[in-house]
Amino acid sequence: QVQLVESGGGSVQSGGSLRLSCVASEYAYKMAWFRQAPGKERVVVESIARDGLFMYSDSVRGRFTIYRDNAKTNLYQQMNSLKSEDTAMYYCAARVEFSDYSPSLSKYAYNNWGQGTQVTVSS
């Protein structure tokens, strides 16, 4: 089972920026960032596949950017123009086994999860 370790969370004021990182213990065909706010379900934020194809949820499109390093073991999320509604625990997710070449905004596409990193945005 792949190990995923997130970092980079913190507290920031509305309009600010943060960059999240996720270090994976092995290569994954597709990876994603999820988030879970208190009392709400865990939802996907953005996803990236092996060849760099990506997908964003409507809530973050134009503000967040997902990218991977060349070795495809590290995942990043640049978050700009943060809003209070972005406050959540952010989780890195990965699928090591090949399924297809497309990114996915479905939680069922991933079978490995990190422990999460907290992002708090104050207005």
* Distance from chain centroid for Cα 120: 15
**What Å distances lie between residue 104 and 28, 81, 100, CA to CA?**
13, 24, 10
90 has a pLDDT exceeding 90: yes
In the predicted model, what is the mean pLDDT of the chain?
94
Instruction: Report pLDDT for 71.
Output: 75
Q: Is 53 helix (H, G, I), strand (E, B) or coil?
A: coil
Contact 75, 31 (CB under 8 A): yes
